[in-house]
């Protein structure tokens, strides 16, 4: 794998160093973990599509409109999946 450099402000570098030191790792590993855990817009859209498909399978259809009457049902559905109380 080819290595490269990324220029950041001193404050960002110092913060990355503090995060790395706190987890006994390197800045390289902190940045790699952040990149792996952060979704791209395409990944977010795909996750949203999968979520909508899962809800539709359970009879809940949510429109993009925040005033959608099924919104409360969808929120309750997700709360149930996550183990939270709606």
- Check residue 84 and give its pLDDT: 66
- Check residue 82 and give its pLDDT: 79
Determine how many CB atoms are found less than 10 A away from the CB of residue 80. Answer: 12
Chain-centre distance for alpha carbon 43: 9
* Model pTM score: 0.58
- Check residue 33 and give its pLDDT: 96
Q: Which residue has the tokens 């259809």?
A: 61
In the three-class reduction of DSSP (H, G, I as helix; E, B as strand; rest coil), residue 58 is classed as coil
Chain-centre distance for alpha carbon 16: 20
- Check residue 19 and give its pLDDT: 97
- Check residue 27 and give its pLDDT: 96
Q: How far is Cα 55 from Cα 72, in angstroms, rounded to an integer? A: 12
- Check residue 64 and give its pLDDT: 66
The whole-number mean pLDDT for each consecutive block of 10 residues of the chain, a chain of 86 residues, reads 92 97 97 94 91 83 69 79 69
Q: How far is Cα 86 from Cα 83, in angstroms, rounded to an integer? A: 9
């Amino acid at each position: 794998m080819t290595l490269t450099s990324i220029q950041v402000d001193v404050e960002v570098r110092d913060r990355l160093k503090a995060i790395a030191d706190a987890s006994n790792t390197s800045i390289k590993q902190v940045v790699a973990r952040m990149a792996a855990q952060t979704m791209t817009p395409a990944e977010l859209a795909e996750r949203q599509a999968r979520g909508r498909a899962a809800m539709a399978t359970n009879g809940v259809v949510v429109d993009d409109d925040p005033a959608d009457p099924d919104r409360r049902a969808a929120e309750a559905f997700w709360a149930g999946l996550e183990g939270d109380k709606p």
